[in-house]
Every structure is written in structure tokens, then in C-alpha cells.
Amino acid sequence: MVNRVWGRLIAPLAALAALAGPAAAVTTPILVVEAESGKVLYSQGATDPWYPASITKLMTTYVALDMARRGKVSLDTLLTVTPEAAAEPPSKMGFKPGTQITLENALKIIMVKSANDVSWTIAEGLGGSVEGFADMMNETAHRIGMRESRWYNPNGLPEPRQWTTARDMAILARALMRDFPDQQGLFSISAIQFGKAVMANHNGLLGRYPGADGMKTGFICSGGFNVVASATRGGRRIITVVMGQPSARERDIKAADLFDYGFGQSAGWTAQTLETLPPSNLAGPPDLRPYICDKRKPLPVDEGPGALTAGADATATQLFGSATADTSNLAFAALSAANVRGRALPPRAPLQPVAVWTGRSPAEGAAALAQAEQEAQASKEAAHTAKLEAARQKREEAKAAQKAAQAAKAEANKQAAAEKAAKARAAAVTAPKPAAKDKVPAAASAYTAAEAPKPAHKPAEKPAAKKAEAKPAAKKTEAKPAAKKAKGKDDDA
């Protein structure tokens, strides 16, 4: 836990230091070695520090096998998954705290599935703590001749202080072959089967490149795609280390090309050995995160489609040149070179899964799996029931809410009607009464009604009649003065 917290604190400083130099100057480590003699067939940046990622698990495996060889533990030793181990990020098996597993099954799982939780379980079970196991890793690495490696965790998850070199990983691969010849099958398992689940090895060379027989891949954003691989042809075994590649496919293709090149070379008596490779002048590993893990794209995974369908020695010779050390610097910008682009990879040979289990025996593991499946089924059914109940309750709540809304609307309408009626009554009460001068006594009203002129069309006729009667009267009246005037004239004559 202390290592992880400390790692998070210094990670930003390490990243800044790594990016201080130009990215184009980064040389990705490459190494081709004869397994038996340790002679170098090709090298490039072989002693440059690099983040190991999950090839760390080769070191974890060596320490565990060495403890078993010395009788401190056995491959049947039961290890218990702690909450800390269960909390490790993927890739993982997802075992619950308290689950027990034998050391042998744990080693098979970390070699194939690369499970970080199981690696943590091994470290805590064999070292008492992760810190204690890391001390054992460093002590063992120094004893077998690894000069540049520094170990802080057993699974290779990001830790800025943990790095290794291609040279050290080749030394470790040779030590695993030399010291544990009866455990070589551990590194060539094509797949494991846990219950009904079958998990293929991440090593894209197994079952694809002829003669490939190990060992381990690794990937983190800061270190790119790494592999320590071995292959045998004509009784001759070669170890190839490729680090810092931008994809699993390119890593596998380059490793296959290097194998083709290596099997076409013979190490002379003047060839360098792993021990004579010159030290690096780099103070720390570069951080490739900005180049490997583009935030705009999906996170890469440590699974490649496999090795090559074709790869002639001439092609590899043209790419890598002669076997002299560091004859070319493969800049990071050239990782997707034309020799890699468009290369096809064949399907993997049929998997041959090896069974692994929890507990002491397959029977115990099967019983534990059956119980886990029953619990999972019960949990699934409970979740389904809870989902149905939640849906039913939601429907009931929706109905109740609808009824409440309807009742509230009806009440609001009723209240609005009541308010309207109240306003109408209030308006009737407050309406103004007629003025006193407009009031007429009843008798006068009756008289007036009797004396009142008739409708307009009838009175219109009476004035006309009166006018007609008035005209003759007017003539009669005018005639009298005329007569009087005539009488007056007679008197004058």
C-alpha cells in the first residue's frame, strides 16, 4: 500500500523527467540472444531503462519457483486472496477476498491471463507483504546477474520507480530455462480453463509462429507493448526481447522478424554476451503514454492477432542490418514502418486449455464454482424480482399520481366555479340603484300610460289628417277678408 501511495505522489515528477528529451530520440529496446550461450545476435538499446509492465510476472514466477525449489513452499501451498489483492485493477480473475488457490494454479494464471490480483496474492502469501516480496525480487535479481532492474510490485502495474532493461529480461529468461527445466511448460500454455471460461494466452506468437514456446507479454501506456519470447528451431533456442511497441500486432510482427533473423545468424567467437553489453547513459525510462494511449482512441489491449504468415530472412536483414550492437536507432516515429504496415497474421492454432481451479483439488474447485454459480443465479433472480417489483411499484405510483392529479384538477374546477358564483353574487349586491327623480307615482304612471302617445306609425298618420283639414279652414278664413274688401269698393262708387 505504501508503494502504491508513494508511486502516485512521484509519478508526475517521473513523467516530466522522462519527457525532458525529444520524443523522436527514443530508441525502443530490442535484443536477440542465443538461450544456451547467452551470445548476442542483435541488440538495440538493450541496457536502456524501460517500464516492464506485465513481463514483471516472470520475475514473480522465478522467486516463487526458487522458494519451492529450496523447500520453503510447495506448488500445493494454498494462497488466500486478500481485500487488497482483490482490489487490484484488471487484467484480473476477480476472485473474492477469502478465496484460496494453490501456488501452481496461481502461476499458470499469471502466465496466461496475466491476472494482477493473483500476482498480488502470490506476493502477499510468499513474502508476507508486497513490500517484503519486492525485497525478495530485488535480492534474487541481483543474485542471478540482473544489474539495472528495480522492483516494487509483483504485477507490473504502473509504478514510476519500477523499471528493467532488455538485457536483464534476457538474463531472467535464461535463468528460468536453466534453473527450472521441469517447469518450461508453464510458459507455453496456450490457454487456461476456469469452470466454463476459456482464456487464451496474450502471447500472440504461441500457436502462430513455428517453434514459439514462451514466455510473457506486458503492456502499460508508459512502456508500450513488451514481450519476452522464446522459440526453438532445429534444437536451437533463441530469446527475443521487444519493448516499447505501439500495438500488440507490431510487437508480435517484430518479434517474429527477429526470430527469423536470429535463426539465420550464427554467433561467432567475437560476439558480445549479455554480460559485456555496455551500460546505458539514460537516467530513467521514457514515458510513452502520450504516444501509446491517445485519449481520442480506445485504450489498447495486450492481445494481438498473432504472428506472421510470411517473413523472409532478407526482410529482417534489410530492416535490422548486421548483428553488431546498436547499428541502427529505431526512432519511435518509425515504429509503423512499411515493413510492418499491411502484414497479415494467421489464425492461432487450436487452443489446448489447461484446467485451473480454486481450493486444493479440482473437486473442491468444482464445488466452489457450483456454489458460486448458485449464488450468482440466486442473485440474478433476486435482482430480476427486485426489478419487477420496482416496475410494479413505479406503475402503482404513476396511477396514484394520475388519480391525485385528476382529483386536484376537479377540486380546482369546483373551486373556480364557486369563486365565479361568489363574484356574480357580489356584483349583484353592489350594483347602483335608480336615482329619486326617475321615480314616478303610481297614479301618475297610470295617467301617463293612458295619455301617452300611441306608437310612432299611428301618430304619423294623424298629423297628416289634421293638415288636410287645416287647409280648407284656411281658405274659408281668407275668403271673408276678400268679401269685406269688395263691399268697400261699392261704397266708394
CA distance 140 to 128: 17
Q: Which of 54, 91, 230, 247 is catalytic?
A: 54
Tell me, yes or no, if 57 is annotated catalytic.
yes
Binding site residue list: 216
The CA distance from 302 to 248, in Å, is 6
| Count of Cβ atoms closer than 10 Å to residue 33 Cβ | 32
Q: Beta strands 353-355 and 191-194: pairing type?
A: parallel
Q: What is the rounded distance in angstroms from the CA atom of residue 57 to the CA atom of residue 399?
A: 60
Given 39, 57, 92, 108, the catalytic residue: 57
How far apart (Å, rounded) are the C-alpha atoms in residues 442 and 243? Answer: 124
Q: Annotated binding site for substrate, which residues?
A: 216
Whether 114 is a known active-site residue: answer yes
CA angle in degrees (0–180, nearest 5) for 300-303-304: 100
Q: What is the Cα–Cα distance from 369 to 375, expressed in whole angstroms? A: 10
Cα–Cα distance, 85 to 69 (Å, whole number): 25
Complete DSSP assignment for 257-326: HHHHHHHT----TT--BGGGSPPP--SS----HHHH--TTSPPP-S----S-S---HHHHHHHH-SSSTT
Q: Which of 39, 91, 108, 114 is catalytic?
A: 114
Active centre residues (catalytic): 54, 57, 114
